[in-house]
């Protein structure tokens, strides 16, 4: 009898191992991948973040973010773009948000996609999961909510998560609209930045970046504080130092460019990755220039760093958005800045590609600005929106594209491209 019970239990377990994946996985996605995330979408996300930039918020005062259903889905599509989820969408009704997400799974006999659907209700002081479905398998809402609350309680052991959770005081859903109330604490931004670095940067990569940040600091101390130094005087010895390591050239190049971009952005990598101070910011003690312009050096290096860490599409889009903003309310649209961005993208692509070792050598041997980037100062710049429109039409027009093609041709002929 006992043997029969054991056999029955084994049979049930085996059946469960077969039936559960069959119920949970589907052949078709519940949410199709979003249309290509356009430059205008990225500009909208940027403006949303700028509007709610925590550095501009009054501490310990309740603020609200209101998003329509289309806006929320636009933001979710941005998450898809960054995290490579297959698709995610929200449907908002009074008191309830229905979230549906699709994840592609490795090849298997049961299905290509895991579709998740959750009904999330707003309740005083937070949210509650009413129901959860994994593919065709429904889970009791009480069970799903209990698991979520246990996970939340466990995650609160992390100080950053606890502070972030406490900052959000209320979430409410209405017809086609979600509202998030939050109270910002200044220290939270620094802790989120540190936690992001901890989660996204592998320990060995952090160690590399710190080595190059230290060597960069050593090189900069040779120059008077507040002085302006040609970028090549720093990149050449920095990449020369990279050649003395035994590491993979692509990984070393990524670490060099990230350390340099952090410095130009006013971020102290030691404070970010090792310190416990309330701020990771540090004003650059020495300014760097490219073809006599500090902004060219920033465009070039930061675009290269974004490319080696996040992709060339993102770097190009961010550069173009910046110029569009300058045309409407800043210093004006500059093809020179755009050229420096595109040069940085090219550098980033080659720095981690098959040419990584060759590019590292050429950067170590560079002696002049033109060894890094062609001189694009003959291109039109500082154009107000009206002048830019009159001369080149809208972004993507034949006249505009002709200039972009000229830039790309000059970059393709540059030694760093070969």
pLDDT for 123-158, tens place per residue? Answer: 887 788 888 887 777 877 788 788 777 777 777 776
H-type alpha helices, 277-334: 294-310, 312-329
Q: Between 1 and 50, whose confidence is greater?
A: 50
Point out the domain boundary residue: 185, 213, 242: 185
Beta strands at 177-183 and 62-68: parallel, antiparallel or unpaired? antiparallel
Residues 143 and 207 in one domain: no
* pLDDT at res. 56: 67
Residues 41 and 131 in one domain: yes
What is the domain extent for residue 403?
A: 201-417
* pLDDT at res. 221: 92
pLDDT for 198-213, tens place per residue? Answer: 555 677 888 888 899 8
Residues 263 and 397 in one domain: yes
pLDDT for 72-95, tens place per residue? Answer: 877 777 666 555 567 778 888 999
**The pTM is what?**
0.68
Residues 223 and 146 in one domain: no
**368: DSSP letter:** S
Point out the domain boundary residue: 130, 160, 185: 185
* pLDDT at res. 37: 52
Residues 138 and 219 in one domain: no
Using CB atoms within 10 Å of the CB of residue 174, give its burial: 0 to 12 exposed, 13 to 18 middle, 19+ buried.
middle
In a domain, residue 176? The reply is yes
Residues 255 and 389 in one domain: yes
Residues 169 and 212 in one domain: no
In a domain, residue 256? The reply is yes
- The C-alpha torsion from 74 through 76 and 82 to 88, rounded to 10°, is -120
Residues 83 and 209 in one domain: no
User: Is 308:352 a contact under the CB 8 Å cutoff?
Assistant: yes
Phi, psi at 416, each rounded to 5°: -70, -15
Q: Mean of the per-residue pLDDT values for the chain?
A: 77
Residues 161 and 219 in one domain: no
* pLDDT at res. 373: 93
Residues 55 and 167 in one domain: yes
C-alpha–C-alpha distance, residues 317 and 324, integer Å: 11
Max mean pLDDT range (30-34, 237-241, 277-281, 388-392): 237-241
Range 266-293 burial, b when 16+ CB lie within 10 A, else e = ebbbebbbeeeeeebebeeebebbbbeb
Residues 119 and 209 in one domain: no
Domain count, the chain: 2
Residues 241 and 177 in one domain: no
């Amino acid at each position: 009898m006992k043997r029969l019970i054991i056999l029955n239990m084994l049979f049930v377990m085996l059946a469960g191992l077969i039936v559960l994946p069959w119920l949970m996985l589907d052949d078709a996605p519940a949410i199709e991948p979003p249309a290509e995330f356009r430059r205008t979408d990225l500009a909208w996300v940027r403006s949303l973040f700028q509007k709610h930039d925590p550095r501009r918020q009054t501490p310990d005062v309740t603020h609200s973010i209101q998003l329509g259903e289309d806006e929320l889905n636009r933001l979710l599509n941005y998450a898809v773009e960054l995290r490579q989820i297959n698709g995610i969408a929200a449907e908002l009704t009074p008191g309830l948000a229905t979230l549906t997400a699709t994840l592609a799974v490795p090849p298997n006999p049961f299905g290509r996609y895991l579709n998740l659907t959750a009904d999330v209700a707003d309740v005083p002081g937070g949210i509650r999961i009413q129901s959860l479905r994994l593919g065709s398998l429904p889970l009791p809402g009480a069970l799903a909510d209990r698991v979520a609350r246990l996970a939340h309680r466990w995650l609160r052991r992390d100080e950053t998560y606890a502070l972030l959770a406490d900052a959000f005081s209320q979430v409410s859903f209405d017809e086609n609209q979600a509202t998030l109330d939050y109270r910002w604490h200044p220290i939270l931004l620094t802790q989120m930045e540190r936690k992001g670095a901890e989660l996204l940067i592998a320990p060995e990569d952090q160690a590399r970046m710190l080595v190059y940040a230290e060597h960069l600091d050593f090189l900069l101390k040779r120059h008077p504080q507040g002085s302006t130094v040609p970028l090549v005087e720093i990149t050449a010895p920095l990449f020369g130092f990279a050649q003395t390591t035994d590491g993979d050239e692509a990984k070393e190049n990524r670490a060099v460019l990230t350390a340099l971009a952090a410095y130009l952005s006013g971020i102290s990598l030691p404070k970010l990755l090792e310190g416990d101070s309330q701020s990771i910011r540090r004003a650059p003690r020495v300014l760097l220039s490219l073809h006599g312009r500090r902004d060219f050096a920033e465009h070039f290096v930061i675009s290269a760093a974004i490319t080696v860490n996040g992709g060339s599409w993102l770097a190009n889009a961010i550069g173009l958005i910046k110029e569009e903003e300058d045309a409407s309310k800043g210093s004006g649209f500059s093809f020179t800045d755009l050229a420096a961005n595109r040069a940085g993208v090219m550098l980033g692509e080659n720095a981690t590609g098959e040419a990584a070792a060759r590019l590292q050598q050429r950067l170590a041997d560079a002696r002049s600005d033109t060894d890094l980037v062609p001189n694009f100062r003959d291109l039109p710049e500082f154009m107000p929106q009206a002048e830019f429109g009159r001369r080149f039409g809208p972004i993507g027009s034949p006249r505009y594209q002709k200039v972009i093609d000229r830039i790309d041709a000059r970059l393709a002929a540059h030694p760093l491209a070969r």
